[in-house]
Structure 1
Amino acid sequence: MTRAVVFAYHNVGVRCLKVLLAHGVEVSLVITHADSAAETIWFGSVAATAVEYDIPVITPDDPNADGVVARIAGAAPDFAFSFYYRKMLRAPLLATAPRGALNMHGSLLPKYRGRAPVNWAVLHGERETGATLHYMTEKPDNGDVVAQTAVPILPDDTAQEVFDKVTVAAELILDRVLPALLAGTAPRVRQVLEEGAYFGGRTPEDGRIDWQKDAATIHNLVRAVAPPYPGALTAVGG
């Protein structure tokens, strides 16, 4: 039986963890995040899902710490998977999975590498985005692509609505390609990084409306930061 360790958070983490289990992968350890009191938790719990399936789960502050890497190595994984886990995984950790370490990213790589890819895509008025399964390296979101699936972004879609579509796309990708991945026959396509760009994280202040912008740009901003994200903001009489 193929064994894996899973780094996961959010709805994508829940759904993709369940796909692995449905395909008979032995998940020997789940690494996730402790929920933050400063964040609105509107998504499913990977930790609760792991407990439901009697899988050991840990929430380290630093997944690359020596003790954590040793525990992961002790779980003897064939593969490591990252599904919306929020911290970078370094080379010693990636090396614990001899058959590969793979990440599910919420864009059509190489576009929108980095943080908050769905929000950035909506902000920029894109008409489609998607999910991509790719091999991990120490550089974010730049490894070889295994598979990707596109989803439409409608003119009035909010970021959450698009994220829900991306979650389904991620589940479909993993379900479709996992048999070939386990058999060692899945494709690997090198990214042409020049065809995309890296984007950083976003803060609530990034939702401030610039009324000098055109109506379409403001509309896209409002959609990109609509609840459950912090929302757009402006000053009145200030």
Structure 2
Amino acid sequence: MRVVMFGYQTWGHRTLQALLDSEHDVVLVVTHPRSEHAYEKIWSDSVADLADDHGVPVLIRNRPDDEELFTRLKEAEPDIIVANNWRTWIPPRIFNLPRHGTLNVHDSLLPKYAGFSPLIWALINGEPEVGVTAHLMNDELDAGDIVVQRAVPVGPTDTATDLFHKTVDLIAPVTVGALGRIAAGETDFTRQDRSQASFFHKRSAEDIRIDWNWPAEDLQRLVRAQSAPYPAAFTFHRGKRLEVLAAVVSEGRYGGTPGRVFYREGEGVVIVAGADARTGRNHGLAITRVRTEDGEEMPATDYFTTMGGYLTSRPPSR
């Protein structure tokens, strides 16, 4: 089939590479300009460079809504458009242009975790598995019929970086497998159960601020989700920003006020956590490694030389 590819960053790069390695003919690539957004500088393999290396024409767009682009798409005469990590709305006149429509490849197990940063949100929420879905695009975002979907389990110590590497390897088989079904004339695909759908926004600095009212189990997953190269989860100690690089759920149960620097346990320092910490029924978050405001990394036991005081979500007002 003749394929036009819309994509960006490493997800789009892997998709384009899979298409170039397949029996299909990539006739045009559309990608975004480079971005300075913190999350878009991560996993930023260039789709444009890969297309150029293989002699495929490239168009750079923030939004696919201009007449020149539409004309170029019609001239390319694609049988299908394949999209992965395209960051803005694709209008119906484009996604319905090819005879087979548009196949979108998304790094979640749709209908859950449509939208942005699905791996990070899924890890924070304690999902047992994550994956990649190829679905046909329709008028509703990430809502079309599923052609191929594959899942991988989330391990007890997996970080978002681990899950990225697990799922990015699924892109090629999911994409090529879906195109194979479509090229073979199959049309009996899986309708999404929209009662199970969820949609998530882009992550920002506010989303990595530690709230000590969260249960320790949730905070430990937040720390794992914000693993390098993602921005680390952070809190404030004595008015200065402190990044939490590694932590575990404490073995013991600790009562008191959320955020209290309380007790050395094993290789960590336990912080009281949970909105109902006063009951004494909660585990705490045992921080094991931190990064200070001036960029110094160290074991938490070296940083917290004395117990007492509080970690807070925001610096104290002056």
TM-score normalised over the length of structure 1: 0.94
Larger mean Cα displacement after TM superposition, 165-174 or 140-149 = 165-174
- Answer yes or no: is the 8 Å Cα contact 1:88–1:138 preserved in 2: no
SS of the aligned residue for 1:233 comes to: strand
Question: Hey, what's the Cα distance between the residues in 1 that align with 2:43 and 2:15?
Answer: 18
Q: Which residue number corresponds to residue 102 of structure 1?
A: 103
Alignment CA distance shift 1:48-1:30 (3 Å): same
- Answer yes or no: is the 8 Å Cα contact 2:42–2:230 preserved in 1: no
Question: Hey, what's the Cα distance between the residues in 2 that align with 1:171 and 1:204?
Answer: 32
Residue-by-residue CA offset, 1:190-235 (whole Å, 9 max, x unaligned) = 1011123112221122100011222111111112222222221112
RMSD value, Cα: 1.5
Q: Which residue number corresponds to residue 52 of structure 1?
A: 53
More helix by share: 1
- Answer yes or no: is the 8 Å Cα contact 1:209–1:234 preserved in 2: yes
Tell me by how many angstroms 1:38 deviates. 4.0
Tell me by how many angstroms 1:186 deviates. 5.6
- Answer yes or no: is the 8 Å Cα contact 2:63–2:89 preserved in 1: no
Tell me by how many angstroms 1:118 deviates. 0.8
Question: Hey, what's the Cα distance between the residues in 1 that align with 2:87 and 2:190?
Answer: 24
Alignment CA distance shift 1:215-1:44 (3 Å): same
Q: Which residue number corresponds to residue 163 of structure 1?
A: 164
Q: Which residue number corresponds to residue 30 of structure 2?
A: 31
Q: Which residue number corresponds to residue 204 of structure 1?
A: 205
Tell me by how many angstroms 1:70 deviates. 1.9
Residue-by-residue CA offset, 1:152-187 (whole Å, 9 max, x unaligned) = 111221112101111112222123333222122264
Structure 2, unaligned runs of 5 or more: 239-314
SS of the aligned residue for 1:212 comes to: coil
Tell me by how many angstroms 1:23 deviates. 2.0
SS of the aligned residue for 2:213 comes to: coil
Structure 1, unaligned runs of 5 or more: none
Tell me by how many angstroms 1:72 deviates. 1.4
Number of residue pairs the alignment of both structures matches: 237
Identity %: 37
What does 1:87-236 align with in structure 2 at a 5 Å threshold?
Answer: 87-185=88-186, 187-236=188-237
- Answer yes or no: is the 8 Å Cα contact 2:130–2:152 preserved in 1: yes
Q: Which residue number corresponds to residue 5 of structure 1?
A: 4
Q: Which residue number corresponds to residue 19 of structure 1?
A: 18
Residue-by-residue CA offset, 1:114-142 (whole Å, 9 max, x unaligned) = 11111110110112010000001121100
Alignment CA distance shift 1:123-1:4 (3 Å): same
Q: Which residue number corresponds to residue 78 of structure 1?
A: 79
In structure 1, give the amino acid aligned to 2:108: S
Larger mean Cα displacement after TM superposition, 120-129 or 219-228 = 219-228
Moved over 4 A (4+): none
Larger mean Cα displacement after TM superposition, 108-117 or 196-205 = 196-205
Question: Hey, what's the Cα distance between the residues in 1 that align with 2:130 and 2:94?
Answer: 30
Question: Hey, what's the Cα distance between the residues in 1 that align with 2:82 and 2:23?
Answer: 15
Q: Specify which structure has the bigger relative contact order, considering alpha-carbon pairs within 8 angstroms and separated by 6 or more residues.
A: 1
TM-score normalised over the length of structure 2: 0.71
More strand by share: 2
Q: Which residue number corresponds to residue 271 of structure 2?
A: none
Tell me by how many angstroms 1:22 deviates. 2.0
In structure 1, give the amino acid aligned to 2:79: D
- Answer yes or no: is the 8 Å Cα contact 1:12–1:171 preserved in 2: no
Question: Hey, what's the Cα distance between the residues in 2 that align with 1:28 and 1:143?
Answer: 24
- Answer yes or no: is the 8 Å Cα contact 1:111–1:195 preserved in 2: yes
